[in-house]
Structures are given as C-alpha cells and as structure tokens.
Structure 1
Amino acid sequence: MGEGHDHGQQIMRAGEKHRGRLWAAFALLVAFMLVEAVAAWLTGSLALLSDAGHMFTDVLGIGMALAAITAASKASHDGQRTFGLYRMEVLAALANAVLLFGVAIYVLVEAVRRFSAPHEVLAGPMLVVAVAGLVANIAAFFLLRSGSEESLNVRGAYLEVLGDLFTSVGVIVAAGIIALTDWWYADPIIAVAVGLFILPRTYKLGRAAVRVLVQAAPPHLDVAQVRDALAAVDGVADVHDLHVWTLTSGMEVASAHLILARDSDLAGVLAASRQVLHDRFSIEHATLQAEPQGADGVCDASGW
C-alpha cells in the first residue's frame, strides 16, 4: 500500500506548485476590485457594482484556495489528522458557492428595483473601469488556467474569473449603449444577465463540493463496475462492503472486503486488486480486507 499513501503528498504538491500564480492573481484582482467598487459608487452603475461584487468572490475564492493549500501542508505533519486537511479546499469551495449565490440574488433584486426607477449612470468612467477590469480578468484567467484541472478549489476560482471576464464585457456593452443613447435600462439589464450567469455556475460548484462532503461515489466512476472488476481478479470469490469516495480533488479512495477463493495467494490477490483499481479507475489509495471463505458470519457488513 506504500504507493497509495504517497498520493496525498502528490496532491498537496500539485496545489503548492500553483501558489505563486494564485498570489499573483489574488493581488491583481484585489486592486481592481477596489477600483471597481469605488467607480461603481461614483458612477451609480449597478452593472459595475455587480462586477465588483463578482470580483470580490474571485478574490475570496483565491484566498481560500491559498489558505487550503497552506493548511493541508501544515496538517501533513500532525499524526492525529491521518488524512491531513485535504477537505479544507472542498469546504472553501462550498463556502465560495454560497457567497456567489448571495451575490447573484442581491444583484437580481437590486436590478428589479431599478427597472421601476432607473438611475442615471456616468458612462465614460464606467467604460474605462470596465475595460481595465476586463484586462485584469484576462490576466488572472491565464494565471489560474493550468491549476484548474488539478484542484477543485482552484477550479472554482478559475471559473469565477472566467465568468467575471464575460461580465466585464457585458458592463462594457452597457456603458457603450448608455454613452450613445442615454438608455439607462441597459445598466440593470446587464446586471440581471450577470446574476443569471452566476447562478448555474454556483450550483455546479456547490454540487461538486457537496458530493465530496457527503462521500458520494465520484460521478465518473460506476461502483458496480468497480465491484465487478475486483470480483474478476484471480483468487477473489466475492466482493462486499465496497465503498468509493473522493477525499479531495483528484484523490479517489476505496475500501472493500474480498472473499478469497480456496488456495489463493493472499499477496498476489492484494497486488492484483490494487493494480486493477489503479489502472482502470485511477484509484491510488485503497484499503482492502481479505477474508477466507466462510467468514461471512464473522465479518458483519456495515449498514452504510
């Protein structure tokens, strides 16, 4: 099982190698978030305010990703935390989803209010700040893209930046319309579009985090196929008490009880079973309990 126990360290190192890019994106977005918030107050633009709020969740998401990486690194030396603090990034992703949902609802409610009483907006400053925000989001997008495939939390921050990139384009469009036509409704319309754009991504991120926290089987794995693959290993008569779940991003874990066929080689069965889990399902960490035939009454199956 030695190779499986090293996988957690690989996951932690995968997050740590993106730490510098995360810090760069964090600093960049903090600066432009403050600029957008001040500009939204000065120009009276709800669309710009929604973009600033969305950028705030970007900043918070990246900050939580950094905190999770640091916490996981420190926890690896604590003997009482046998799995480290890998779930920290999942908790951070869930909190991020909740905050995104709150921002979206606020923007939608405020936009509805403005439809009945549209506010005058200073289109010139709004346009300049929106363009600057777009540039900042493009830079953050490229900084986070490489890490988005390796970490759920980095992926959450990456998706937020991607969404904010499109909302910045929307704010630019609204500023252009207002500058050319004085049609103030463009501002709340874009704000509604931003809110509706945030909600589905929030749901997807939150659902992924909740699946991990409730220890559901990974969506890309069919538990029945895992069971059949283990049962087909030479020397395995039956498989029961099989559990497959995700510990953190990219780290699937499994446990199972294997009923051994008579005269089977214990070491060979365990090695072959681990190899099947690794090769077919990319499960690096597995706890396998081998039992002789007739041990059904001794080994009580759990009710999980």
Structure 2
Amino acid sequence: MSGDAHGHGHGHALTREADGRYLTGALLLIVAFMVGEVIAGLIAHSLALISDAGHMLTDAAAIVVALIAMRIAARPPQGGFTYGLRRAEIISAQANGITLLLLTAYFTYEGIRRLITPPEVEGGLVVVIGLAGIVVNLAATWLISRANRTSLNIEGAFQHVLNDLYAFIATTVAGVVILLTGWSQADALAALVVAALMLKAGWGLVRDSGRVFMEAAPAGMNPNEIGGRMAALGSVVEVHDLHVWEVTSGYAALSAHVLVDPSADCHAIRLATEHLLHDTYGIEHTTLQVDHATPELLRIGDPNSHCHDPHGPSHKPESIA
C-alpha cells in the first residue's frame, strides 16, 4: 500500500514538472515577442500593437503566477493554514482578472480617442508583427494546452494566450485594411476588439475567483439537488446544515448533518453518502456528522435542540427533485 502511495505522489511530481516545462516554454516565447512588439508599436504609432503587448504582459503574468502557485500548492498544510496555501491561485486569478479589466478601460478610452483623431499608422509593419504574433501565440497556446488545465491558473493562462491569438488576427486584419485603403481608424477598431477580448477574459476570472472567495457552491453544483439526493438514501430522515464550497479550483468540499433512522447503522449511511457524493458529484473532501434521529435532534431551530442555529433549508426524503 505504501508503494502505491509513493508511486502516486511520484506521478503527481512528474506531472507538475511537465506542466512547469510547458508553461516556461510558453512564457519565454511570449516575453521575447512582447518586447519586440512594444518597440514595433512605438515605431509604427500603432495602438493595436501596443494594446496587444499589454495583453501579452498579462499573459506572461498569468503564466508566472501559475508557475508560482503550482509550487505553493504542493506544500503540505501546516500551522493555521489547514488547507495549505491552495487558495493562492485564486488570489492570483483575481489579480489577473482585475488587471485585465483595468487594461480594458484604458484601451477602450484610447481606441475611441483614436477613432476621432486617428494618427498615421504604418500598415505594413502592423501586418508583419501581427502575422508573427499569430505564429508565436499558436505555439504558446499549443504548449499550454498540453498542461493540466483543471487548475484555474493554468486554464486562465491558456485563455489569456488564446484570446491574444484572436487579438493578433484582428490586428493583422487592421494592418491589411490600412495598407489597402489607408483608413487608419482600422487600427483603433482592432484595439477595441482586443479590449472586448480583455473584458471577456477579465470578467470570467473575476467572476470565477469571486465565487471561490464567497464560499459559493462550485459552478454546476446545485446544493438543493445534492441535499435531496442525500436525503433520498435509505434510512436517512433528514439532512441539514449542508454546505458546499470550493477550496480552490477543482477542489470541492462539503459538510452536512445527516439524521438517520434510530435502527440504522450510522457508519454504513456515512459510507453510502460519501460514495454518492464522490461518484455523482466528484466531491472527495466531505465532513459528515451522522446521528440517529432522536426527537431532540429533530427540533431544528429550537434553542434547546442540538442545531439551535441551523444554516440553510433542511432536506427530507420527499425533497429530491
């Protein structure tokens, strides 16, 4: 048994190392190109190129944070951090999302301003850099797609780079339009497209990380449905004080008070409930208090009962959807 545990841990270590290599390769590609793009954007007076570079900066930051979070998450719980530092990746996701929203506001303002008073833009240089950006982002997207995307950090980094790929396509199209027609406002329109992509990615990160901070149930999990299914198990009389939350991305936890028939085996009901939660909802971390349903415990809300301060609705066998 100890040998299996060792192999399992070794496999996780190898996976983290492989993920780290993929992310590092993508990071080097993005940073090198980002520096060149800023220089080219200044020379060409292209807001679209500079805005793409700003977006790539957030891509690079997201990847760096993902790499750091992977190392932090591997540390065992200690001291007052009973879950370890698993939620560090959620903090970083929130920061990345807020940064994207701030960049969205800036580039939207600049894009509108340049629509009104467009500067001279060198379309040829915009096209060349845009095409190079498509190639670089295709390579970076492919690298990150090979890593484990169940982590909000890695998935966030992937979405950043994927959105940047779309942005480079818009930039290239703008450069072609400027070359063919001389209409410089196309650059500002491309910048607004980039801003829209930033808004989408930034809002998604803020929303998803905010759900974790607010202790909300993981997306796609309905606590009422879960409570109903738990209550529908044989010999269960009532389920209350049900809490479902996410410690970090992909790590759901649940706690509940389960009352069972006085003649039932509490241990067997607990095991059956754990299997239900694991097999149906993928919840592996559960804390279940299973008691026989005595009259005292059934007086929910009674100051003299065990649960004098109940949280949320109670679920009974007939409450299953």
Equivalent residues in 2 for 1:53-92 (5 A)?
A: 53-74=54-75, 76=76, 78-92=78-92
Equivalent residues in 2 for 1:59-138 (5 A)?
A: 59-74=60-75, 76=76, 78-138=78-138
Q: In the alignment, what sits opposite 1:298? A: 306
Matched, 1:252 2:245: no
Structure 2: which amino acid aligns with 1:174?
A
Report the alpha carbon displacement of residue 268 of structure 1 after superposing the two structures with TM. Answer: 0.7
Aligned pair in 2 of structure 1 residues 193, 29: CA closer, same or farther (>3 Å)?
Answer: same
Q: What is the count of residue pairs matched by the alignment?
A: 295
| Alpha-carbon distance between aligned partners in 1 of 2:170 and 2:16, rounded to the nearest angstrom | 32
**Which secondary structure state, in structure 2, belongs to the residue aligned with residue 18 of structure 1?**
helix
**Which secondary structure state, in structure 2, belongs to the residue aligned with residue 233 of structure 1?**
coil
Relative contact order (alpha carbons < 8 A, sep ≥ 6): 1 or 2 greater? 1
| Alpha-carbon distance between aligned partners in 2 of 1:54 and 1:256, rounded to the nearest angstrom | 43
Gaps of at least 5 residues in structure 2 are 1-8, 298-304, 313-321
Equivalent residues in 2 for 1:1-304 (5 A)?
A: 17-74=18-75, 76=76, 78-147=78-147, 149-294=149-294, 295-296=296-297, 297-303=305-311
RMSD: 2.0
Aligned pair in 2 of structure 1 residues 28, 195: CA closer, same or farther (>3 Å)?
Answer: same
Which runs of at least 4 in structure 1 moved beyond 4 Å after TM superposition?
A: 12-17
Q: TM-score, normalised by structure 1?
A: 0.91
Report the alpha carbon displacement of residue 46 of structure 1 after superposing the two structures with TM. Answer: 0.4
| Alpha-carbon distance between aligned partners in 1 of 2:201 and 2:150, rounded to the nearest angstrom | 18
Aligned pair in 2 of structure 1 residues 213, 103: CA closer, same or farther (>3 Å)?
Answer: same
**Which secondary structure state, in structure 1, belongs to the residue aligned with residue 74 of structure 2?**
helix
Q: TM-score, normalised by structure 2?
A: 0.86
Percent same amino acid among aligned pairs?
A: 37
**Which secondary structure state, in structure 1, belongs to the residue aligned with residue 306 of structure 2?**
coil
**Which secondary structure state, in structure 1, belongs to the residue aligned with residue 85 of structure 2?**
coil
Structure 2: which amino acid aligns with 1:298?
H
Whether contact under 8 Å (2:94, 2:206) holds in the other structure is: yes
Q: In the alignment, what sits opposite 1:4? A: none
Structure 2: which amino acid aligns with 1:32?
F
| Alpha-carbon distance between aligned partners in 1 of 2:84 and 2:281, rounded to the nearest angstrom | 23
**Which secondary structure state, in structure 2, belongs to the residue aligned with residue 35 of structure 1?**
helix
| Alpha-carbon distance between aligned partners in 1 of 2:51 and 2:250, rounded to the nearest angstrom | 33
Report the alpha carbon displacement of residue 91 of structure 1 after superposing the two structures with TM. Answer: 1.1
Whether contact under 8 Å (2:66, 2:89) holds in the other structure is: yes
Whether contact under 8 Å (2:266, 2:292) holds in the other structure is: no
